Amino acid sequence: MVKSEGSGLLGRSSLLFNFCYIFLAHGVVSGIISGGIEFAIAYGMYYHSSKPVYLWGFPNTLSGDCALTVFIQVGVTWVCEELIVGWDCFQSKTPLLPFEIELPDEASHGLFWRLFEVKHGIAKDELSLRSYVRKQFIRYPSRSRCFNLFSWLLHKFVISMIAAAMIWFWVWPVTMGVMAGVGTRVGSHEYKFHGWAPQIMKLIFGFVIGLMCTPLAIIVILLRDKWFLEYKKSAQTGSQEDEKRAPTDAIENSSGDFHTDSTNQDPSA
């Protein structure tokens, strides 16, 4: 069922639908799944380990674990959201963002256009899985499928790592401070953890990262597809104007050629 385009209570542009789709249906669910996965990984790594778990010290270092978790989790989450939200975009089931961000000019913001892949949004041509997969992955029709898949993954890797770095900058230092307060102090700057503490902290950490990166990924995807539609409309308008000018230009060129031929005729003829 396609949501109404209006701004009513459940319309696609309503704040309620935006909040439910971005933060509840995707953000909270992603956080729960991510937290559960991080809990399971931490249980396997730390619970039965014969070596103590430290905040800074190796081999069981929670600081390094959390830092690596941010980048891996954001990268995987971004790819998943590209596929899931992309399919919803293809079916016109995504929310319409209630705010406007103007698309900058391509000539002076080429890096911005490449980073956000403005020319490669999702627009529905025919409602089929095959058409969606082609829209999602095939950016260079003349190249092989492997090349297109690698190019797609490379673009997602770059933008997700930029997002991961921003999230790490804010979340990781705060998390280390909280963990230092929970752990048992050893020496001047080290902290040790026992029992279920590492698993529970990784569960909370995974949930927070999922709750932060998922809405960010969705907003970027929705903005990109909105900009893509603007770009496509602008390109079509320019093409139509060129087609309208073509007959006039042809007539003017013909008139100019006729005038030139008349001027160049031999007067004695």
Q: Token pair 């704040």 is at which residue?
A: 15
Q: Are 218 and 26 within 8 A, CB to CB?
A: yes
Strand (E) positions, the chain?
53-54, 184-186, 190-193
pLDDT confidence band for 91 (50 / 70 / 90)? confident
Alpha-carbon span 232 to 121, nearest angstrom: 10
Q: What is the mean pLDDT of the chain?
A: 86
Can you give the pLDDT at residue 236?
74
pLDDT class of 1 with cuts at 50, 70, 90: very low
Domain segments of the chain as ranges: 16-238
Per-residue pLDDT of 245-266, as tens digits, reads 655 555 566 555 555 555 555 5
* Statement: residue 146 has pLDDT above 60: yes
Q: Give pLDDT, residue 144.
A: 93
Cis amide linkage into residue 198, ω under 30° from 0: no
**In this model, does residue 269 exceed pLDDT 50?**
no
Q: Which residue has the higher pLDDT, 250 or 202?
A: 202
At 233 the pLDDT is 83
Digit-coded pLDDT (tens) for 25-58: 999 999 999 999 999 999 999 988 889 999 999 9
**200 vs 131, higher pLDDT:** 200
